[in-house]
Copies of this chain bind each other. A is one copy, B any other.
């Protein structure tokens, strides 16, 4: 499966280039292009900050202009914090990565432009894009840095892969108790608590027993949970019998 290319346009700090590489690789993206980085290339600060994602920098394509970086792409997104009064679709990262996935599956090549840290993309870069990505931040407070913007976009790409289980329970120890084990536990408690005079007054006893039985069956108990609950009850009985 192919993936979008992420293009850093005139990035300033090497640290942020390294951080962007890490952010991408967290979500399995590894195609980076870099347009005219302020401090030249290669950049030792970028390498230091990329740590385990250094391969992305080694393989990054360096170009002088935005045009050179997107020359082979058929669909280009530009990320910006503000809308610029350009007549162009403005999409959420979610919708953008949906579009990217459709286009890539149709054989197209998709790029996402990220601007320099201080000022963001210039209108001249944005005019080259087919659509604008706008992260739906708090209108009173927008303070995403370059690596965070890359991170959210990469996260959306990965999230929509659809191969991640939304919910699972760890198997380790999840040896679930069977219904008969839950029944025996319920009976054990019911009979001992009966002896202990717990179900009082008698007019309410049956109702209390139903509530208790329901409690056991409602709980997601493993076999070792059940053993522990039996043990607790036995120990209370022993304690009482020692008469301390």
Chain A residues in contact with chain B, CB under 8 A? 22-23, 25-28, 51-53, 83-92, 94-95, 135-138, 141-144, 147-148, 151-152, 155, 158-159, 164-170, 172-174, 220, 222, 225
Closest 3 CB pairs of A and B: A85-B172, A95-B166, A136-B164
When distances are taken between beta carbons in the complex, the residues of chain B under 8 Å from A83 are 170, 172
CA distance A152 to B93 in the complex (A): 13
Contacts of A147 in B (CB 8 A): 148
Are B26 and A141 in contact, with the CB atoms below 8 A? yes
Assembled-state Cα–Cα distance A86/B83 (Å): 46
Interchain CB contact under 8 A, B166 and A92: yes
24 cross-chain CB contacts under 8 A: A25-B143, A26-B141, A26-B142, A27-B136, A27-B137, A27-B138, A53-B141, A83-B172, A84-B170, A85-B170, A85-B173, A86-B172, A87-B169, A87-B174, A87-B222, A88-B170, A90-B167, A90-B168, A91-B166, A92-B167, A94-B166, A95-B167, A152-B152, A152-B155
Q: Say how far A164's CB is from chain B's closest CB, in angstroms.
A: 4
Chain B residues positioned under 8 Å from A164 (CB to CB)? 92, 136
Chain B residues lying within 8 Å of A222, measured Cβ to Cβ, are 87
Query: Which residues of B lie under 8 Å from residue A86 when comparing CB positions?
Result: 170, 172-173
The interface residues of chain B lying within 8 Å CB-to-CB of A53 are 141, 143
Q: Does A169 contact B26, Cβ atoms closer than 8 Å?
A: no
Residue in A94, A169, A222 with the greatest tally of chain B CB atoms within 10 Å: A169
**C-alpha gap A114/B148 in the complex (Å):** 18
Return chain B residues, CB-CB under 8 Å to A94.
159, 166
Separation of A43 and B200 alpha carbons in the complex (Å):
55
